[in-house]
A and B are shown apart, each in its own frame.
Chain A
Amino acid sequence: MANTFVKIASATVGSGGSASMTFSSIPSTYTDLCLKVSGRVSGSGYDFRLNVHLNGNTSGYTQRAVFGTGSSVFSYSASIAGYAASLMGSSGTANTFGNAEIYIPNYAGSTNKSYSVDNVTELNASTNNRLDLLAGLWSNTSAVSSITVTTEDGTAFVQYSTATLYGIKKN
């Protein structure tokens, strides 16, 4: 069977917490990238932004998204620097982690870069859950060689949060 989904690298947050995780020197030998984040942030509240900065760049991003909170559904358009997903803060059930999957097709190509995201702020409770589906565009034709995931200002990824980067091959 073809080895089409290859783990490139991963990062795990230590006891002090971290504001960001960066993957640099990403090889250009895959067709797509998939970044999976399992995390929780230190801020007091239920959902906090997770931003993705490609090549360290914080401009040129636009988003279209729908999200549900359990009782309501919303949609929006935005132009927020690298906004990709939401993760739960310290108000959620203890020791539960949300997750996000960020998929970047044709990351090494010379066209603008799109990305898709699905995420949940999983907290093992019937309220304050949030599910997001997001389509993002980075209007930049550079090949993606680094990815940084950051938390909202004033917060940090808590211990045991992880980010794992996978490369996707055609065959």
Chain B
Amino acid sequence: MTTAIEVNCATGEVVERPLTTEELAQREADAAAFAAAEHEKEVAAAEAAEAKAALLAKLGITADEAKLLLA
């Protein structure tokens, strides 16, 4: 069973208790939000790489040759 630890800074009391239904739901929601954000980053990176490759093809040069132009 997954637990939560609570420390009351005023009294020093420490309690370890099972997670509530709401806390379990929040953890699932957090995980879903994180997965969505990661997916967005992957899509953006893939789109950028695709656009770069298309531009290089249009120019008829390699990535290394592009670096030389920009150096």
Contacts and interface: CB of A to CB of B under 8 A. Distances in A.
A156 B30 CA distance: 14
A18 B4 contact: yes
A152 B31 contact: yes
B56 to A, nearest CB: 21
B53 interface: no
Contacts of B5: 11, 13, 18, 20-22
Contacts, number: 81
B13 to A, nearest CB: 10
Interface residues of A, number: 34
B8 A25 contact: yes
Given A80-B34, A83-B34, A150-B27, A19 B4 contact: yes
Nearest to A81: B30
A27 B9 contact: yes
Interface string B1-31: 1111111111110101001000100111111
A25 B10 contact: yes
A119 interface: no
A61 B16 CA distance: 27
Interface string A43-75: 000000101000000100000000000000000
A81 B29 CA distance: 9
Contacts of A19: 2-4, 19, 23, 27
B41 interface: yes
A41 to B, nearest CB: 12
A22 B34 CA distance: 22
Contacts of A79: 37
Interface in A1-38: 8-11, 13-14, 16-27
B51 interface: no
B15 to A, nearest CB: 9
B54 interface: no
B46 interface: no
A152 B9 contact: no
A16 B16 CA distance: 11
A152 B32 CA distance: 10
